[in-house]
A and B are shown apart, each in its own frame.
Chain A
Amino acid sequence: MSSKQVAMVIDLNKCIGCQTCTVACKTQWTNKEGQEGMYWNTVSTAPGGGTPKDWEGMGGGFRDGKAQAGIRPKQADFGDAWEFNVEDVMFGGDPNGTVGPMEGDPIYGTNWDEDVGGGDYPNSFFFYIPRICNHCTKPACMEACPRGAIYKRDEDGIVLINEDHCRGFRFCQEACPYKEIYFNQTTGTAQKCIFCLPRVEEGVATACSRQCPGRVRFLGFLDDEDGPIHKLVYKHKVALPLHPEYETEPNVFYIPPLAPPSFDDEGNEIDESRIPILYLISLFGPAVHDSLEIIKHERELKRQGGTSELMDVLISRNWLDLFGPFTTQPKDVARTLEGRGNA
């Protein structure tokens, strides 16, 4: 456990599944050789295969404090990074050809199940769930690394893989129950979300947070009582970790999703939540019930013309209020000083 813990709350009611976070992360950190199929940030449609495919059945984490065996996901589970035959078709060689993945017709990808979900028409359901490394309080990956290359920073709780120490044993991939660790074949090291350390150390919000047009992500320190994280996680108790039963104590929390009611053939309401509550409990634990009730109650207060601190926090009329202490504008950070790469 670190002295301080930085955390993120992701509001699933505001997430619009646009993947701007995914590409923000991609263009920021994982656009080098060996990282083609790597997404430190994903957004999946739930229910669905997710990334890697069916990761929730791959084990890892702890049960009753004991480390659980896990499966190491294969690249195919994440989906291949397709290359396309654009040049051949457009500029010669194969003008009647079909542009598509050169590896053959794909069978899976990181967002393969987009907008599919579950249930039966007209009572189908789905929602979007963005995921990054949870920067757990009890990181299973850290325990699993025989090199001691994974560490949790005391000052902010960010979990990092020291890529100079990593020798590519990949036990971390087995141990992480969220399967948030990728393997870079080019460097021979495990890589994962670094919580945008180069940004947050400059007071800039993570790329996935700051670039999110849905204003979905809240940032801050867990113990900052004035910050949005503390209010959502502890004060109002509406933000919940994903799969708390994995016992790694994630520091990414979720506002669970509302949905319109389902109905029968005559139009009678069947289930006011449409998304089966058992499914939500399987994701967020039994606390999800109370969380949804609180959100509905507070929203009704607003509808009746009342006030609600919770709703105001979730709305965050001033965008920068989402980010706790990380409100510096990135272009204002002096990244052109000598010693910073090429400048």
Chain B
Amino acid sequence: MPEGLTLSRRNFLKAGAAGAVTLAMPNFIAREAASLEALAAQTPVEYTTWMDLYRSQWTWDRTVRGTHLINCWYQAHCAFDVYVKDGLVFREEQAAEYEQIRPELPDLNPRGCQKGCTFSHRMYEPSRVTHPLKRVGERGSGEWERVSWDEALGDIASNFLDVVTEEGTDRVIWDLGSNINIGAANAAQARFAQLTHSICLDSNSNNGDGHRGAFETFGNIYIERGIEDYFYSDLILIWGSNPLYTSIPNAHFFTEARYNGTQIVAISPDYGASAIKSDLWVPVQPGTDAALALGVAREIVEGGHVDEAFVREQTDLPLLVRSDTRKLLTEADLDGGDEDHFIYLDASGEFIAAERKTLDLDGNEPQLDVRRTVTLDDGSEIEVRSVYSLLRDRLAPYTAEAVSEMCGTPVKLVRRLTNMIIKARALSNVSGSSLNKYFHGNLTERSMILIWVLLGQIAKPGSGYSAFPFLANDGWEDYVSGLRISERLSFGMELGTDLLWDLATGETAEMFFKKMGTHNFNDPGSTLPIWTSSALFWKVHGGQEDLSGEADKWIPGLQQPTKASLHQALENKDLPLQPPLGDDPRILFHYCSNPLRAVRGGDQILNVLWPKLRLSVVIDFRMNSTGQQADYVLPAAAWYETTDHKWVTPLVPYNHVTNQAVEPLGESQTDFWIITMLTKHIQEQAKERGLESVTSHIGKEIKLDQLYEDMTMDGQFTENDTDKAAGAILEQSSNLSHVSWEEQKEKGFARYNSLGLSPLSIGNAGELKADEPFIPLTNHTIKKHPYPTQTRRIQFYIDHTLYLAHDEHLPRYKEPPSMGGNYPLIMTGAHTRWSIHGVWRDSKIMQRLNRGQPYMVISVEDAESRGIADGDWMRAFNDVSEFVVRAKVAPGVQPGSTVMHHAWENYQFPGKGAPRSVSPSPVNPVELAGDHPHLKVGMLEGQPGMFDRDTRIEIERMTQEAVDQLRAG
């Protein structure tokens, strides 16, 4: 009997044995098996043979649970079954075992996207690095030599010792890409950095994802809801985001909420992928969203729709501002009391210093609309006005007609949107990070938040403003501290005494742990790694500031050259920078990072910084634009070749684990192995040199001759213990230790049971429960904990000198500056559907599903007026630089704008330039206000950003011949 039939019969028997136990399969399979036999009677051998080829394509030796340790941010993460056959991963498929948290809410299944579903192929593509590579020609010559790990790590260790002894430990830099996992891999890196006092770059600023508007307003950017919460929304605004591209596994919650009766409004320049799922699309000119938001806010105020109880209690709107100095009125002004106590006028007519320890008004009723005189402590009389009163004046010009002029949205659409927002029972937004990448993105975000706050649409089911999603374990800090893990109690416990003290002074746990984050930048010497802002690093050490300095001429209203402002801020220590200006970096470890692709104006950093470097070391599983210019490329294990876990977000608050399915390809090794082995080489060579220790740049003794013992905690976690270290981190965590590591590995995911204490999560300030979607900020709205701002309230008035000087003390609209010169097109950008960062950009499967080459999407009108057809090559240029790209012509693109999706690698563009080349990314002077009480640099927040969305360009058609010539060299 043919083989296939035997199999069918077995199916039949198996189904029979199962009886009618499962409704899912038996009858169908029984029928199928029986009919196969019937068919076989007609066409015997051949039939079974060909179909069995397909059957055999779907066989495997085993499966393990896996995920992808990449920062796909809003959509992170997804549990997969990884299918292994003959020692190779050949496929993956979503595990899809998430349980519904409530019957009325859709479950999370299946979770995954086209990138994740092809990683099994990605990991075996030609760009994979399988052996340590040493540069033998000039940098960028592409001449590589395969070397042993001993040779590579030995040489790097030797250079390391030279640098730390000759110039200082802070000359060694960890350029951390956005793939940091806050698991074992990243813990090895961070522990190394902490033990040697080398510098870690916080890449969030460089990504332009700073959400500064949220930081200015809430004192905190970490605000995000559980994805299921959108089901409780009455109106969802997709504004500054494109979840159809960037939240693929989450997107069904929007389409399903819509079927459930929720309305969706999309606000964007282009009629794009997310707009097609909306009930109303509101076109807006790029960079003018603040005007639209302020128009809505004006109507809320003028129409009497302000939730007065909410803003009295939660915001700075009742606080008084001196008309003479434009500073907030303080207790010190009135009676010589505290300078950080701010004043409101109570309904009783009394001036009251707002409570800093709680938002509870204790029966008081602050007046909102105040304009009167007050006698100061020195006897003088001045006028004071409430923030609300100033705001009302500020909003007055933003009539629907004026707004329409500013943002190009038809008046009736402005009104229609306004009415929908005001009537919404529960209003939410879909957070993205596009608007941050406009020069005035902070003003836009402050203006948008104003809508939610004025309406009291905060921290209720389906209601609230989302900013920056992040959720991490809190055991990682314990692991990376210089101590042995056994020497530390849990992070929070150790700090218990301090914590109580701070609470007594009115600081919440949130403020305390966020302050721990700022210590990593401002007060190095704590037991945590030393961080510095990557944007600042590239600006100062990479020479990017010179490029952005040239951009000054395009920014109206500057008080002084931005470079001078920046250096003043460095000098005043308003912005911490490591190493300081003048101390050149010498070794750059690019750890899952790719700055030569990602940094705006990145040509500059190659020209300015690379010549100063003794070593540029790329640790990655694939060759990328930065790898091409490196001295060493060290092959890291891919995500199905290691056991580890990664941070997520409150949207999907489940820790996700990847298990090692196969051995690392070729000679590649886990990050944990690579970095731990580096300490071994350093220790050995230090001993050979008779070198016991060096003093770090902040005066701490760095023990070089026992670095490996310190790194491994005396052999507790050796280079081969990635799995064990990953587990130890979770066991130390207050929010993930409730499920054992073994169980998490087996299942692939576990739901967090609280926000924990990490400075990267605690700002969400709410309770993470098992049976409801997370709602942020309830600690403030329900428990009345004060916000971590200067005034301890949601704050719209920033009285810092720089904000006053630039007229940004209150939200307002400012036109996007013409960055790059007087050119007719604004080159907006967006995340691509086809890659997470550059990781899938040259994936063959992904490339074949778009256009195989970089393209810029342009409008029909702009194409026609320039004689450009779809698919043509174009030169895009401005005063800064140029690049060559193909045209994609789409009627959804707003005339006058173009859409350039991100993350194409440099080597995918003919010629030298790439889109980042034309973006000077200037410094915004208000971002230098690091001396403001709540605008200090902290973890992922409060740092100068990167801007490319305001970039102006012109485009012109290029002939095929010209492009071929360019490529020929």
Is B a genuine binding partner of A?
yes
- Assess the A18–B113 pair: CB atoms within 8 A: yes
Chain A 304-343 interface 0/1 with B at a Cβ cutoff of 8 Å (1 = within): 1100000100111111100001111111001111011111
- Does B58 contact A20, Cβ atoms closer than 8 Å? no
Closest to B841 in A: A99
Q: Is the CB of A213 within 8 A of B249?
A: yes
A213-B413 contact in complex given A27-B118, A302-B259, C-beta closer than 8 Å? no
Q: Are B275 and A16 in contact (CB under 8 A)?
A: no
Q: Which of A23, A203, A320, A336 contacts B118 (CB 8 A)?
A: A23
Interface positions of B from 85 to 120, Cβ below 8 Å from A = 85-86, 90-91, 93-97, 100, 103-107, 109-114, 117-118, 120
Residues of B in contact (CB 8 Å), total 145
Which of B10, B55, B93 is within 8 Å of A207, CB to CB?
B93
What is the minimal beta-carbon distance from A15 to any residue of chain B, in angstroms? 9
| B255 neighbours in A (Cβ, 8 Å) | 13-14, 16, 214
Is the CB–CB distance between B414 and A267 below 8 Å?
Answer: yes
A55 within 8 A of B: no
| B638 adjacent to chain A (CB < 8 Å) | no
- Please indicate the chain B residues that have their CB under 8 angstroms from the CB of A334 in the complex: 14
What is the chain B residue whose CB lies nearest that of A124?
B891
A341 to B86, CA, bound (A): 11
Closest partner residue, chain A, to B28 (CB atom): A325
A211 touches B142 (CB 8 A): no
Binds A, one of B773-781, B794-802, B845-853: B845-853
CB of A154 closer than 8 Å to a CB of B: yes
Q: A238 to B953: give the CA distance in the assembly, Å.
A: 47
Q: How long is the Cα–Cα vector from A314 to B255 in the complex, in angstroms?
A: 10
Of the listed residues B10, B263, B890, the one surrounded by the most CB atoms of chain A closer than 10 A to its CB is: B890
Cβ B54 vs Cβ A194 within 8 A: yes
Q: With A116-B889, A267-B410, A317-B104 in contact, do A202 and B25 touch (Cβ < 8 Å)?
A: yes
Residue of B nearest to A107 (CB): B871
The interface residues of chain B lying within 8 Å CB-to-CB of A259 are 276
Verify B261–A115 contact, CB threshold 8 A. no
Whose C-beta in chain B lies nearest to the C-beta of A26?
B845
Which residues does chain A contribute within 8 Å of B86, judged by CB atoms? 342
A80-109 residues with Cβ-Cβ distance < 8 A to B are: 81-84, 86-87, 89-101, 105-107, 109
Considering only residues 49-73 of chain A, those with a C-beta below 8 Å from chain B are none
**Alpha-carbon separation in the docked complex, A12 to B170 (Å):** 55
A278 to chain B, nearest CB (A): 18
Tell me the bound Cα distance from A18 to B115 in angstroms. Answer: 9
A201 contacts the other chain (CB 8 A): yes
Which residues between 861 and 884 of chain B lie within 8 Å of chain A, taking CB atoms?
A: 861, 870-871, 873
Q: Does B892 contact A (CB under 8 A)?
A: yes
Answer whether residue B554 sits at the interface, using C-beta atoms and an 8 A cutoff. no
Q: Which of B258, B908, B960 contacts A13 (CB 8 A)?
A: B258
- B933 interface contact, C-beta 8 A: no
- A81:B93 contact, CB within 8 angstroms: no
Give chain B residues whose Cβ lies under 8 Å from the Cβ of A211.
93-94, 110, 112, 117
Residue with the greatest number of chain A CB neighbours at <10 A, chosen from B29, B93, B112, B413: B93
Q: In the complex, what distance in Å separates the CA atom of A318 from the CA atom of B256?
A: 12
Interface stretch (choices B45-53, B457-465, B674-682): B45-53
B6 CB-CB contact with A under 8 Å: yes
Which one, A4, A100, A116, A314, contacts B908 given CB within 8 A? A100
User: Quick check: A106 and B271 within 8 Å, CB to CB?
Assistant: no
CB proximity of A259 to chain B, nearest CB, Å:
6
B852 / chain A contacts, CB cutoff of 8 Å: 82, 84, 100-101, 106, 109
From B55, B85, B833, contact of A18 by CB (8 A): B833
- In the assembly, what is the distance between CA of A79 and CA of B112, in Å? 26
Query: What's the Cα separation between A16 and B113 when bound, in Å?
Result: 11
A120 lies within 8 A of chain B by Cβ? yes
A214 → chain B, closest Cβ, in Å?
5
Shortest CB distance A303–B (Å): 4
Partner of B853, one of A4, A106, A311, A316: A106
In the complex, what's the smallest C-beta–C-beta distance from A323 to chain B, in angstroms?
9
Return chain B residues, CB-CB under 8 Å to A101: 847, 852-853
Whether A328 and B24, one on each chain, are in contact in the complex, defined by CB atoms closer than 8 angstroms, is yes
Q: Determine whether A117 belongs to the interface, using a CB cutoff of 8 Å to chain B.
A: yes
Mark B536-572 against chain A: 1 for CB-CB distance below 8 A, else 0.
Answer: 0000000000000000000000000000000000000
Complex alpha-carbon distance, A225 and B967, angstroms: 61
Contact indicator A299/B25 (Cβ below 8 Å): no
B251 near A214 with CB under 8 A, answer yes
Given the complex, which residues of B lie within 8 Å of A17, measured CB to CB? 244, 273, 833
Q: In the complex, are the beta carbons of A336 and B59 less than 8 A apart?
A: yes
- Contact flag A319-B110 (CB < 8 Å), given A302-B259, A326-B24, A339-B6: yes
B258 & A299 in contact (Cβ 8 Å cutoff):
yes
Stretch from A161-169, A171-179, A284-292 at the B interface: A161-169
Tell which of A304, A311, A335 has the most Cβ of chain B within 10 Å.
A335
Contact bitstring A7-49, B, C-beta under 8 A = 1, else 0: 0000001101111101110111101100000000000000000
Are B58 and A198 touching (Cβ within 8 A)? yes
Given contacts A16-B273, A163-B50, A327-B24, contact A87 B126 (CB under 8 A): yes
CA of A94 to CA of B891, assembled, Å = 38
In contact, A86 and B126 (Cβ under 8 angstroms): yes
- Of all chain A residues, the one with the shortest Cβ separation from B834 is A19
The answer to whether residues A118 and B891 also contact, given A97-B907, A210-B96, A211-B112 and a CB cut-off of 8 A, is yes
Q: Which residues of B contact A314 (CB under 8 A)?
A: 256, 259
Q: Chain A residues near B262 (CB, 8 Å)?
A: 303
The smallest C-beta distance from B327 to any residue of chain A, in angstroms, reads 42
Is B260 within 8 A of A311, CB to CB?
yes
For the complex, is B351 an interface residue (Cβ under 8 Å from A)?
no
Give bound CA distance, A89 to B967, whole Å. Answer: 12
Q: Which residues of B contact A342 (CB under 8 A)?
A: 56, 59, 61, 85-86
Asked whether B310 is an interface residue with its Cβ less than 8 Å from the other chain, the reply is: no
* A142 CA / B960 CA spacing, docked (Å): 45
> Is B523 interfacial (CB-CB < 8 Å)?
no
Whether the Cβ atoms of A109 and B848 lie closer than 8 Å is: yes
Max count, chain B CB within 10 A of own CB: residue among A23, A79, A336: A23
CB B496 to nearest CB in A, in angstroms, measures 43
Whether A127 is near chain B, meaning CB under 8 Å from some CB there, is yes
Pick the contact of A126: B83, B109, B276 (CB < 8 A).
B276
B7 beta carbon closer than 8 Å to chain A = yes
Contact of A91 among B29, B144, B847 (CB under 8 A): B144
Residue among B49, B93, B259 having the largest count of chain A Cβ atoms under 10 Å: B259
**Alpha-carbon gap, A124 to B248, bound state (A):** 23
Q: Which of A20, A100, A115, A329 contacts B114 (CB 8 A)?
A: A20
- Mark each residue of chain B from 831 to 846: 1 if its CB lies under 8 Å from any CB of chain A, else 0: 0010000000010110
Contact A165 to B46, CB < 8 A, known contacts A92-B142, A215-B256: yes
| CB < 8 Å neighbour of B967 from A97, A127, A257 | A97
A176 to chain B, nearest CB (A): 20
**Contact among A117, A120, A318, A328 with B107 in the assembled complex (CB-CB below 8 Å):** A318
Contact in complex: A268, B412 (CB < 8 Å): yes
Q: Are A28 and B853 in contact (CB under 8 A)?
A: no
Give bound CA distance, A175 to B168, whole Å. 75
19 contacts between A and B (CB under 8 A): A13-B259, A22-B114, A22-B849, A93-B142, A109-B848, A115-B892, A116-B870, A116-B892, A117-B891, A164-B49, A213-B111, A215-B256, A260-B275, A260-B278, A260-B281, A325-B25, A328-B24, A329-B96, A342-B86
A interface residue numbers (CB < 8 A to B): 4, 13-14, 16-20, 22-24, 26-29, 31-32, 79, 81-84, 86-87, 89-101, 105-107, 109-112, 114-122, 124-127, 153-156, 160, 162-165, 194, 197-203, 207, 210-215, 257, 259-261, 263-268, 299-300, 302-305, 311, 314-320, 325-331, 334-337, 339-343
Can you name 20 extra interface pairs (CB under 8 A) apart from A154-B35, A266-B412?
A16-B248, A16-B273, A18-B833, A23-B114, A84-B852, A90-B126, A99-B908, A105-B853, A115-B857, A121-B271, A122-B283, A124-B890, A156-B32, A163-B53, A198-B54, A261-B280, A267-B415, A305-B261, A330-B93, A336-B61
- State the 4 A-B residue pairs at the shortest beta-carbon distance, nearest first: A95-B142, A203-B25, A267-B410, A267-B412
